[in-house]
């Protein structure tokens, strides 16, 4: 068969589209399967990372169609965001133009790969018919009390006179002008995500996310049980509220630390000698993001504020510091510092010569006055409290006692804190969903009425690189409006929504994408979203932000009565990275652009090596799918991607591996050609091929169902081919058998290589399109196990003989011309049958085995008694180093033995085939004692372990 990938793939893609093969509707008579990849930002052309993601999803969608599921498999684009806005500034155009040009490009690439999307459900989040519903649901959230406007710190560039998103800040500098960014408080819109903190955390125990994703979300939510403790400021009415998870360490507090932004800082040190140092530290912290303060702080610094706080339980006055490691938004923005039992506090205390006090013992009986060489952060008995009833308490008992004392004193209480913060939704940029709120001097902030939605982005804005700020703010036609309450002059909100909002519910819109009356219909979304999206595929980088926002949104819409499900994703697969070689400097531990291959390190000047690194534009180690499509076609690329590694594992790009997969495609094509050219010639191998088909289909279904795609492709594209070649090698050549084999094999090829499979299906006279076929369960025949075991036995004998041949040739002077195979004597096979029968009945060989052996007729033969005993023990109980044989035999081997094993007969019947396989003139086979003992009795101790001699 001449196979032109370009022609064949284009032809079948058109046939699928013309037939609407992948278009689905609600059908309660079928099990549904909702397969979805995290939709892409349309940056232009598709790259190989995309190809891997979509090839995984498409293979699973096609597999589940074969299994009879009603498969929803849509595609859309996360098309709002800064890159399009920046591109528009460079072009002097509009983000809408840039976005739709890029969407057209990436969609063409996806269609060329043959992905089986229901394109009727296409959406782009920047299209008004999508963000209309963003705004509608914002109003719903506002009505439910989940929207709030309040002051919050933002990144501000003084030179550009604009707010910057976190993504626009690199190394604390503005991406455009390079000036250092400062923090500034501004009025911002929030979604009150913290209302769902407990449910978001607790439900992680009940969803099928990878454990590392669950751990990241648990850490992000950060629920902590502890105590709120008030420290009065000496000589003042002010009180410092702190939160701690370790109230049992309260008697070890030797200082209190405030975040430099804490409002008390200025109040405490204003007009004093300490003010200048505090002001400097505050400005320094203002130039850092919260993330950098928490995760990337190189040096813990602080300044004394000149005042003291009073420990509420012992009355001791301790100094108050401002410290750069305390963040205003976490907890209360103040911490009680216990350097003896917190390493961060210990380091700070050592630097500023603050007392370090032991108030917990690591072990009962330790010296309570011994100096500490580092913080003990564990739990142990309290000491040095200076108050009755505390010393000796440990763990929860100690915590509860301290909390009870604080509550009795009116100085604190037990509480729960969360690391999770409300979702800051506002973005001071153009290319996002306009927030549907109106500012009226008379009425305040008023929601846009639902009937007046959508609030559309103006298309008559021209962008340029000289612009600063948000173009919406200076667009009079957009900004100036009428108050819906008093009908007076008003201003529209010019902030737009964080683009994570767009991706927090798109999976529900896909269920009902053409609905022009609501975001989605309840009955429709409940059908497709029952138990969530069945398979959701995307990168680990979205573990916290997107996945957490989507979980919150689904719970909020559930509580609004819009859907039944509370968790959006049933099973999450985080695909591994696709890597390619890049120049690497071991001394600098850094990768460089591929232009540096063969050169020296740009940093240290030493010769560069190479290592595998994630494909990316910054390194230039990307591969164009377009180039590969032109050379090999889509199916070869898909096979390479899916066979290269299971979805969660990383994989390396390899030109040679791609070429090898291309060759494999052509070997499969040749195999199908040979199967179609056979005559009617039934033979003994037909039953074996049919049995292998059934066994392989079971293994393939299990692997694919578990999203173990590499194992699935190994069966469909390699093991099935290997079985066909073995069938032919063993003389099989029956037309009917070959036809039945192809009817079972070709559908197995289609998830990974759908175009060539569809071509094969047509060639074999398959009914309809393979893309819409439901594959019948091949089932299992009663005799399959024995049929397969006999052939496996022959293959094992050949493998063993080939391994021995080299040794035999080294020890034989003449030319090897024949092989003698000796099998175990008949009584050993009978003994093995008896042992297998007893084992299946749950027989206790250790307790009853010897008595049973002595009851057997053969044990009366005194000459054989020793050998019988050794054989029985080795078969049933084994030794310290080796289990009994009955525990190592496969189901097939046990069936073969139980059915009355005649090893010598099997081998003799296939002597001609064995001789050809072993490249000798003849093969003889007989049991020990039935002929010349050339193989040695000692080597033929058990059934299925024949002795082999080359002569």
- What Å distances lie between residue 808 and 207, 551, 797, 802, CA to CA? 59, 67, 16, 10
Share of residues in the chain with pLDDT > 70 (%):
97
Which one has a higher pLDDT value, 274 or 465? 274
- What Å distances lie between residue 621 and 582, 586, 643, CA to CA? 6, 18, 21
CB-based burial, 870-883: b 16+ in 10 Å, e otherwise: ebbbbbbebeeeee
Each residue's pLDDT tens digit, 711-751: 999 999 999 999 999 999 999 999 999 999 999 999 999 99
Q: Three-state SS string across 534-569, please?
A: CEEEECHHHCCHHHHHHHHHHHHHHHCCCCCCCCCE
pLDDT at residue 936 greater than cutoff 60 = no
Cα separation, 121 vs 138, in Å, equals 23
pLDDT at 938: 45
Helix (H) or strand (E) holding 423: strand 423-424
Cα separation, 738 vs 723, in Å, equals 12
Among 141-155, 293-307, 502-516, 549-563, the range scoring the smallest mean pLDDT is: 293-307
pLDDT at residue 538 greater than cutoff 90 = yes
Per-residue DSSP letter, 814: S
Each residue's pLDDT tens digit, 591-650: 999 999 999 999 899 999 999 998 887 888 888 888 899 999 999 999 999 999 999 999
Which one has a higher pLDDT value, 324 or 880? 324
- Stretch(es) of the chain classified as CATH 1.10.730.10: 657-781
Reported confidence tier of residue 408, pLDDT bands at 50, 70, 90: very high
Each residue's pLDDT tens digit, 653-701: 999 999 999 999 999 999 999 999 999 999 999 999 999 999 999 999 9
pLDDT at residue 937 greater than cutoff 50 = no
Cα separation, 360 vs 348, in Å, equals 19
Which one has a higher pLDDT value, 166 or 595? 595
Mean pLDDT for 105-123 is 96
pLDDT at 656: 93
Question: What is the β-pairing status of strands 147-157 and 162-164?
Answer: antiparallel
Each residue's pLDDT tens digit, 560-577: 999 999 999 999 999 999
The number of residues making up the chain comes to 951
pLDDT at 154: 79
> pTM of the predicted model, to two decimals?
0.89
Mean pLDDT for 232-255 is 96
Question: 597: which strand partners?
Answer: none
Among 109-113, 249-253, 290-294, 619-623, the range scoring the smallest mean pLDDT is: 290-294
Exposed (0-12), middle (13-18) or buried (19+): which is 203, by Cβ within 10 Å?
middle
C-alpha closest to that of 456 among 682, 130, 757: 130
Query: What is the dihedral angle through the alpha carbons of 263, 266, 269, 272, rounded to the nearest 10 degrees?
Result: -170
According to CATH, the superfamily of the domain at 224-416 is Valyl/Leucyl/Isoleucyl-tRNA synthetase, editing domain (3.90.740.10)
759: number of CA atoms within 13 Å, CB side? 23
Cα separation, 511 vs 256, in Å, equals 54
According to CATH, the superfamily of the domain at 657-781 is Isoleucyl-tRNA Synthetase; Domain 1 (1.10.730.10)
Mean pLDDT for 362-374 is 91
- Stretch(es) of the chain classified as CATH 3.90.740.10: 224-416
Each residue's pLDDT tens digit, 774-800: 999 988 888 899 999 999 999 999 999
CB atoms closer than 10 angstroms to residue 67: 16
804: number of CA atoms within 13 Å, CB side? 18
Each residue's pLDDT tens digit, 207-240: 999 999 999 999 889 899 999 999 999 999 999 9
pLDDT at 295: 65
Reported confidence tier of residue 933, pLDDT bands at 50, 70, 90: low
Mean pLDDT score of the chain, rounded to an integer? Answer: 92
Mean pLDDT for 815-829 is 91
CB atoms closer than 10 angstroms to residue 441: 11
pLDDT at residue 294 greater than cutoff 80 = no
Reported confidence tier of residue 493, pLDDT bands at 50, 70, 90: very high
């Amino acid at each position: 068969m001449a196979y032109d990938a370009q022609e064949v793939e284009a032809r079948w893609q058109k046939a699928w589209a013309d037939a609407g093969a992948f278009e689905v509707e609600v059908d309660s008579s079928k099990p549904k399967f909702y397969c979805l990849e995290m939709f892409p930002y349309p940056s232009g052309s598709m790259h190989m990372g995309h190809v891997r993601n979509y090839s995984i999803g498409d293979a699973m969608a096609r597999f589940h169609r074969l299994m009879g599921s009603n498969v929803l498999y849509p595609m859309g684009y996360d098309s709002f965001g800064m890159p399009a806005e920046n591109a528009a500034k460079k072009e002097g155009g509009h983000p809408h133009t840039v976005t739709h040009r890029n969407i057209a490009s990436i969609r063409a690439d996806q269609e060329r790969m043959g992905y089986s999307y229901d394109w009727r459900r296409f959406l782009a989040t920047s299209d008004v018919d999508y963000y209309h519903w963003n705004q509608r649901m914002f109003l719903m959230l506002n009505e439910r009390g989940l929207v709030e406007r309040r002051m919050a710190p933002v990144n501000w560039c003084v030179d550009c006179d604009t707010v910057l998103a976190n993504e626009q800040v690199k190394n604390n500098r503005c991406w455009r002008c390079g000036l250092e960014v400062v923090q500034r408080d501004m009025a911002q819109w929030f979604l009150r995500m913290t209302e769902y903190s407990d449910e978001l955390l607790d439900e992680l125990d009940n969803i099928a996310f990878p454990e590392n994703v669950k751990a990241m979300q648990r850490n992000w939510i950060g629920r902590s049980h502890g105590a709120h403790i008030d420290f009065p400021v000496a000589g003042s009415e002010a009180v410092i509220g702190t939160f701690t998870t370790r109230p049992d360490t309260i008697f070890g507090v030797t200082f209190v630390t405030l975040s430099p932004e804490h409002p008390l800082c200025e109040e405490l040190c204003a007009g004093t000698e300490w003010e200048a140092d505090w002001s400097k530290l505050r400005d320094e912290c203002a130039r850092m993001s919260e993330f950098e303060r928490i995760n990337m702080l190189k040096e813990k610094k602080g300044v004394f504020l000149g005042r003291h706080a009073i420990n509420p339980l012992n009355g001791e006055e301790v100094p108050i510091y401002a410290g750069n490691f305390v963040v205003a938004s976490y907890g209360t923005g103040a911490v009680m510092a216990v350097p003896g039992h917190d390493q961060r506090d210990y380091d700070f205390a050592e630097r500023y010569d603050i007392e370090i006090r032991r108030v917990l013992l690591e072990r009962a009986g330790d010296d309570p006055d011994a100096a500490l060489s580092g913080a003990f952060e564990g739990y142990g008995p309290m000491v040095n409290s200076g108050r009755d009833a505390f010393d000796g308490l440990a763990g929860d008992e100690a915590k509860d006692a301290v909390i009870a004392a604080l509550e009795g004193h009116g100085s604190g209480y037990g509480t729960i804190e969360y690391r999770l913060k409300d979702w800051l939704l506002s973005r001071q940029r153009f290319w996002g969903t306009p927030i549907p709120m109106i500012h009226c001097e008379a009425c305040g902030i008023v929601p846009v009425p639902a009937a007046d939605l959508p609030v559309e982005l103006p298309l008559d804005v021209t962008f340029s690189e000289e612009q600063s700020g948000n173009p919406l703010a200076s667009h009079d036609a957009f900004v100036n409006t009428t108050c819906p309450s008093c009908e007076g002059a008003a201003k529209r909100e010019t902030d737009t929504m964080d683009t994570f909002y767009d991706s927090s519910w798109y999976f529900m819109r896909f269920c009902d994408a053409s609905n022009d009356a609501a975001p989605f219909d309840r009955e429709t979304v409940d059908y497709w979203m029952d138990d969530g999206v069945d398979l959701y595929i995307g990168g680990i980088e979205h573990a916290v932000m997107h996945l957490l926002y989507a979980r919150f949104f689904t719970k909020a819409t559930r509580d609004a009565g819009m859907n039944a499900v509370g968790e959006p994703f049933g099973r999450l697969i985080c695909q591994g990275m696709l890597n390619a070689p890049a120049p690497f400097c071991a001394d600098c531990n850094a990768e460089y652009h591929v232009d540096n291959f063969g050169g020296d390190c740009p940093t240290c000047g030493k010769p560069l090596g190479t290592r595998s690194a994630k494909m990316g534009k910054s390194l230039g180690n990307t591969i164009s799918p377009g180039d590969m499509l032109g050379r090999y076609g889509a199916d070869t690329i898909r096979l390479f991607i899916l066979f290269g590694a299971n979805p969660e594992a990383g994989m390396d790009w390899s030109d040679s591996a791609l070429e090898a997969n291309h060759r494999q495609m052509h070997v499969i094509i040749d195999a199908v050609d040979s199967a179609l050219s056979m005559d009617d010639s039934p033979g003994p191998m037909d039953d074996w091929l049919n049995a292998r088909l059934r066994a392989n289909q079971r293994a393939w279904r299990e692997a694919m169902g578990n999203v173990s795609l590499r194992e699935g492709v190994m069966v469909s594209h390699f093991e099935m081919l290997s079985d066909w070649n073995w069938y032919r090698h063993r003389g099989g050549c029956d037309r009917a058998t070959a036809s039945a084999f192809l009817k079972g094999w070709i559908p197995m090829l289609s998830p990974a290589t759908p175009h060539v499979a569809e071509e094969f299906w047509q060639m074999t006279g398959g009914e309809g399109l393979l893309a819409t076929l439901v594959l019948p369960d091949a089932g299992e025949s009663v005799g399959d196990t024995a049929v397969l075991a006999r052939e496996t036995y022959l293959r094992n004998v050949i493998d063993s003989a080939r391994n021995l041949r080299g040794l035999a040739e080294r020890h034989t002077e003449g030319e090897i011309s024949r092989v003698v195979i000796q099998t175990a004597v008949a009584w050993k096979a009978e003994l093995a049958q008896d042992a297998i029968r007893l084992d299946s009945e749950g027989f206790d060989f250790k307790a009853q085995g010897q008595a049973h052996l002595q009851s057997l007729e053969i044990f009366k033969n005194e000459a054989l008694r020793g050998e019988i005993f050794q054989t029985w023990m080795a078969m049933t109980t084994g030794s310290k180093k080796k289990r009994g044989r009955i525990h190592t035999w496969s189901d097939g081997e046990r069936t073969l033995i139980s059915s009355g094993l005649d090893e010598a007969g099997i081998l003799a019947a296939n002597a001609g085939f064995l001789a050809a396989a072993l490249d000798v003139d003849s093969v003889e086979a007989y049991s020990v004692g039935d002929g010349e003992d050339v193989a040695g009795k000692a080597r033929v101790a058990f059934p299925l372990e024949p002795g082999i001699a080359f002569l």
